A and B are shown apart, each in its own frame.
Chain A
Amino acid sequence: MDPVIFLIQCLNAVQYGLLLFLIASGLTLIFGIMGIINLAHGSFYMVGAYMAFALQPAVEHYLGGGFVATVAVCILLTTLLGYLLEWVFFSYLYTRDHLQQVLMTYGLILVFEELRSILVGNDVHGIAPPPWLSGSISLSDVMTYPVYRLFISAVCILVATALYLVLTRTRLGMKIRAGASNREMISSLGVNIKRLYRIVFAIGVALAALAGAIAAPVTSVYPGMGNAILIVSFVIVVIGGIGSIRGAFLAAMLVGFVATFGQVFFPQVAGMLVYLLMALILLFKPEGLFHQG
């Protein structure tokens, strides 16, 4: 394989893996800490992408426009959405068993998809990347690489680092980690566990929406985009070990590389390679790579 093509594929794999990590980290936090199987997590990715598309005119009108402003508004709104949703809906799921959570969040997927269809419609829409990111870097005489993809990777690395620092260096992160390992203990120590849950959930939603918003210029927005990403994110959470951010990161990278290079080398069976990887890992590590507790 030509080294330049190899480099391009590696960059693509890293970008895809990092993007998946943003979604899967929220999912694994919500599952590990709140014990909720949230099938609707893919919908938040979809909501983020569609907001980036639909809010652009409004943001341009009121705030003077700009891609970054749109993404910022989108994060703000989805954080609020996550906070409210936890309050009115998910907080009732803690006492239910996993099967009922699956059922109710499945219902939520249908609601989100249909609201999307009513509000924005069922067409596929492309989003242009901002002008200052729309160029490309030349890697050789004929090969170029779009700057926007590098930008996605950079944003993801930034957010992942911030997430790592918050979880390991701050008081909030300490509470979150404590909540993951022993829920009753931390609430008896006087931490408001309900508020903690609400914050964790809002963070998870915002991460997924951010992933959707910055991926939108590359993938365009289309119906059912949330479901496709949901299953892959669940695969990552399970490979990495439920509740483990580190595991999710490693698994996301693995999946990114396997999916990207699978498309190059084995296009016939590319779709199933990720699942094959998961089956193989679960055979040797039945509880994921970094199982906690």
Chain B
Amino acid sequence: MTPRKRTAFVLSVLCLLAALPWVANDYYTGLIVKIMIYGLFAMSLQLLVGGAGLVSLGHAAFFGAGAYATALLSPESASANFFWLIPCVLLASTAYAAVTGALSLRTRGIYFIMITLAFAQMAYYVFHDTQFGGGSDGIYLYFRPEWRVGDWTLLNIDDPHTFYLFVLATVASIWAFLSVLSRSRFGAALTGIRINEQRMRAAGYSTFAYKFVAYLLAAALAGIAGMLFAAKDGFVNPELLNWEQSGLVLLMVILGGSGNLWGALLGAFGLIALEELFQSEAIFGGMANHWHLTFGLTIIALVAVMPKGLAGFMNKLGHRAQPGPASRSSLPHTPQP
């Protein structure tokens, strides 16, 4: 795709999404909100996995920290104000990331996977075993937060349509921010670290600082996703921090095709859509009760046929359909099949 075509494509997808609540029913609107929130969550992990090559199996801790900060800080009988809630959410998730990141970034490879898992499980047990956040039952959030200056409400997101648009705007602006970031010096340095950290260090980069900042940033964005999730359901429980949640978001990143920002969105869409599909009794009848079976087999089959994820698969399809000048010039002597 040429840059201009790509811009047009992104804009038209955004317009379609923005128009959706007026066309689709509440079920689909809710589903798309869920996909967008998980898409944001997956994008934040993508910054680590695809950006810096840091595979974390504990990303749900930051999602949960954001969600719990939202639920715990909201007053019981009134709405919280986003103007102070967002800084608090960011503070909660980055503070935990600063402590755990400083320690876990000393390890690498599978050890990094496991130590991030360990720290996330620690956070999980804090909320699960103590009464600090309502224990294993979780806590309710009775009023969605709103944008407010003094007594004047700028934006109230209680209405499902407004909430939908608010989530869409948040996710779209973070997507824009991350795609600018990946083209910046910072993004290039992260790519360098992913490919060859030793060489980057030899070139004079303080690789630890870069990885640390990426870790904090990913945690902050996951915290925002958690805040949106808490606002969506009005309910948080420790399962939001469980390793299965971390595994699920990692699946989204891998399934989408790591190394690709929109792959993360695609992965979130694919995974949640598959979940909904296999749970639908209209299509699968009695098997809907055992949807994990079809879901698991599909995951295995998808990875088997698409080693580079959905994004890589679609790129390949695109290339096969129209061998553009770029692909031809890169292989001058190869005859086209």
Contact = CB atoms under 8 A, between A and B. Distances in A.
Interface of A: 31, 37, 92, 96, 98-100, 102-104, 106-111, 113-115, 117-118, 227, 231, 234-235, 238, 242, 268-272, 275-276, 278-279, 282-283, 286-288
B118 A110 contact: no
B273 interface: no
7 contacts: A98-B55, A106-B296, A107-B296, A108-B296, A111-B293, A111-B297, A279-B119
A100 B296 CA distance: 14
Given A114-B290, A242-B110, A107 B297 contact: yes
B89 to A, nearest CB: 23
Contact of A231 (B117, B254, B298, B307): B117
Contacts of A96: 303, 307
Interface of B: 49, 55, 103-104, 106-108, 110-111, 114-115, 117-119, 121-122, 124-126, 128-130, 243-244, 247, 250-251, 254-255, 258, 290, 292-293, 295-300, 303-304, 307
Most buried by A among B49, B122, B251, B307: B122
A91 B130 CA distance: 44
A103 B111 contact: no
Contacts of B304: 92, 104
A118 B286 CA distance: 11
Contacts of A271: 121, 124-125, 128-129
Most buried by A among B114, B115, B126, B247: B114
Instruction: Tell me if A's interface is mostly helix, strand, loop or mixed.
Output: helix
Nearest to B294: A114
Contacts of B111: 238, 282, 286-288
A231 B243 contact: yes
B303 A283 contact: no
B299 A99 contact: no
B295 A110 contact: yes
Contacts of A279: 103-104, 115, 118-119, 122
B114 A234 contact: yes
B251 A103 contact: yes
A94 to B, nearest CB: 13
B247 A275 contact: no
B245 to A, nearest CB: 13
B108 to A, nearest CB: 8
A37 B110 contact: yes
Instruction: Tell me if B's interface is mostly helix, strand, loop or mixed.
Output: helix
B110 A238 contact: yes
Nearest to B293: A114
A103 B303 contact: yes
Contact of B118 (A31, A103, A117, A278): A278
B299 A103 contact: yes
A234 B110 CA distance: 10
Contacts of A115: 293
Contacts of B103: 279, 283
B129 A278 contact: no
A104 B122 contact: no
A113 B247 contact: no
Q: Which 9 A-B pairs have the closest CB atoms?
A: A110-B296, A107-B299, A271-B125, A114-B293, A272-B125, A107-B300, A275-B118, A111-B296, A114-B292
Contacts of B108: 286
B293 A100 contact: no
Contact of A270 (B121, B129, B251, B298): B129
A118 B297 contact: no
A110 B110 CA distance: 22
A278 B296 contact: no
A102 B128 CA distance: 26
Contact of B106 (A106, A107, A286): A286
Nearest to B121: A275
Contacts of A238: 110-111, 114-115
Contact of B293 (A99, A118, A288): A118
A276 B121 CA distance: 9
A108 B126 CA distance: 30
Contact of B258 (A99, A111, A227, A242): A99
A275 B124 CA distance: 11
B217 to A, nearest CB: 21
A113 B292 contact: yes
B253 to A, nearest CB: 9
Contacts of A227: 244
B254 A110 contact: no
A106 B251 contact: yes
Most buried by B among A109, A114, A117, A231: A114
A114 B298 CA distance: 14
Contacts of B255: 103
B250 A102 contact: yes
Contacts of B129: 268-272
Contacts of B290: 114, 117-118
Contact of A104 (B115, B121, B125, B299): B299
